[in-house]
Amino acid sequence: MRRLTVGLALLSSLVSWPWLAGHAGSDPNAARAGSRGTNILIVGVDSRSGLSAAEKRRLHVGGEGCDCTDVMMLVHLSEDQRRASIVSIPRDSYVEYATPEGAATPPRRGKINAAFKIGGGPLAVRTVEKATGLHIDHYLETGFTGFEQAVDNLGGATVCTDKPLKDENSGLDITEGSHRIDGNGALRYARARHIDRPGDLGRVRRQQRLLADMLEDLTARGALAGPVSAASTAHKLLTSVRTDERTGLDDLVRIGWSLGRLSADRTEFATVPISHFDHRVPGVGSTLLWHKARSRALWDALRADRPITGDIRILPVPETRAETDPARIAVRVDDATVAKALRRSKFVVTDTSASAPAVRPQGPAVITYPVGREADAATLAAALPGAQQRASSRTDAVFEVAVGSEPVAVRTVTYDRNVADGAPVTADDLRCTDPARAHRHR
């Protein structure tokens, strides 16, 4: 019976192939919601239910699960099937839950990941719809073992890093470079929260990189090249992913085939813009508050079926952008005026002008920075255009600015974590640049 069902689903998908070009979604409610295109909600559930002690050790998921969503991505396929926009919704987003069906209780607020614990997938979907104003057409859900199995069934994944990544909590431990990983390694990579750029936004960006590279790999292997190959891939996915009653194999075939036709510059990734990264709520804890204007612009763009990259309403472009946080850069400056100006950009400044030389050395200001802090040196140099940079083997992690004979113009730099970790970008900006160097790694 199972084979017959799969066969009929494959047949229906093949028969409906020409219908792909103009279809906006399988649910008629999408049109009534005033949005164009198709919206799919993908969630990963943090649950240890049913896992043996050995499985927990293998998956590196010890401790108590929250029975909530650990990963949440909203995928928007444009009406013309020529663009995909994938938006990550951080698990700690503070939102108002949708009211469970049949409940007469007043609306509650809390972290968006707890909507699943309260009312399962249906409430998670309705809560996302309430928070974003978008209609969700399809829903996909998986757990730890399901995610591992899905990656293995789809042939593994490639990840890359410009520095070693190690996180004891998730079990991630990979060296610099590109790595071909299996489902277990992908789970560790996707769950790591305690590495460089700690917290959810850095982790979410890694999840986006993982998805971008998997899509590229599936496309390169022809796994989404047409209805037949897409059907085979969708069938593999259904062995480890749960769907809602509106989403069947034929829907997954259409979605997969649409994604397989897209070039990397037509696949966008973003994270919901945040205004407060540590909003404390009694009984809830530390939460994330969405940036009202920017997140509204994001959802408006998706509702109107517009690209999200390059939209300054979602991501205003500052005059001078800092790639790293000035508040984490300690600087000693031998000029009082320059020291005062750098403080306005939130650099941690010590004024050493009392010991400055009576005669300034010829030339521009010189930034001396500790080896390994090149990114922070670039941030300081952005505030001091024209300054020279010199690496030093010093170990105190302090930057030095020595003002020379030439005038110094100090620019105010702006650091925005949304830019550093969640700005709308295309898959071109996220993917591994040298997958040919990938080697096997668990």
DSSP 109-177: EEETTHHHHHHHHHHHHHHHHHHH-PPP-EEEEE-HHHHHHHHHHTT-EEEEESS-EEETTTTEEE-SE
Residues pairing with 140 in the sheet: 42, 243
Exposed, middle or buried by CB within 10 Å (0-12, 13-18, 19+), for 63? exposed
pLDDT of 10 reads 40
Report the helix count and the strand count for the chain, using DSSP H and E. 14, 23
pLDDT of 196 reads 64
| Angstrom distance (rounded) from CA 442 to CA 431 | 20
Which of 88, 41, 66, 256 has its CA nearest to residue 144?
Answer: 66
For 148, residues 6+ apart whose C-beta sits below 8 A from its C-beta are 59, 182, 183, 184, 186, 187
| Angstrom distance (rounded) from CA 121 to CA 241 | 13
DSSP reduced 3-state for 44 = strand
- Which residue positions in the chain have pLDDT lower than 70? 1-34, 102, 196-199, 432-442
Burial 415-437 (b: 16+ CB within 10 A, else e): bbbbbbbbbbbbbebbbbeebee
Q: Which fold has domain 2-318+420-441?
A: Aminopeptidase (3.40.630)
Exposed, middle or buried by CB within 10 Å (0-12, 13-18, 19+), for 405? exposed
Which residue ranges make up each domain of the chain?
2-318+420-441, 321-415
Under DSSP, the state recorded for 18 is G
Taking a C-beta distance cutoff of 8 angstroms, is the pair 411, 383 a contact? yes
| Angstrom distance (rounded) from CA 188 to CA 15 | 40
pLDDT tens digits, one per residue of 198-225? 568 888 999 999 999 999 999 989 998 8
| Conformation bin of residue 50: beta by default, left when phi > 0, alpha when psi is -120 to 50 | left
Q: Which two tokens mark 240?
A: 């480890």
pLDDT of 14 reads 38
Which of 362, 359, 404, 354 has its CA nearest to residue 384?
Answer: 404
pLDDT of 63 reads 75
| Angstrom distance (rounded) from CA 131 to CA 133 | 6
| Angstrom distance (rounded) from CA 430 to CA 214 | 12
Taking a C-beta distance cutoff of 8 angstroms, is the pair 221, 118 a contact? no
| Angstrom distance (rounded) from CA 425 to CA 266 | 10
Which of 254, 256, 255, 249 has its CA nearest to residue 5?
Answer: 249
Taking a C-beta distance cutoff of 8 angstroms, is the pair 173, 159 a contact? no
Under DSSP, the state recorded for 19 is G
Taking a C-beta distance cutoff of 8 angstroms, is the pair 438, 179 a contact? yes
SS (H, E, C) 326-368: HHHCEEEECCHHHHHHHHCCCCEEEECHHHCCCCCCCCCCEEE
Integer CA distances (angstroms), 93 to 46, 96, 200, 293, 393, in order? 16, 10, 10, 16, 41
Average pLDDT score, the chain:
87
What is the sign, positive or negative, of the torsion defined by CA atoms of 27, 40, 285, 57? Answer: positive
| Angstrom distance (rounded) from CA 263 to CA 428 | 9
Which of 304, 364, 305, 356 has its CA nearest to residue 334?
Answer: 356
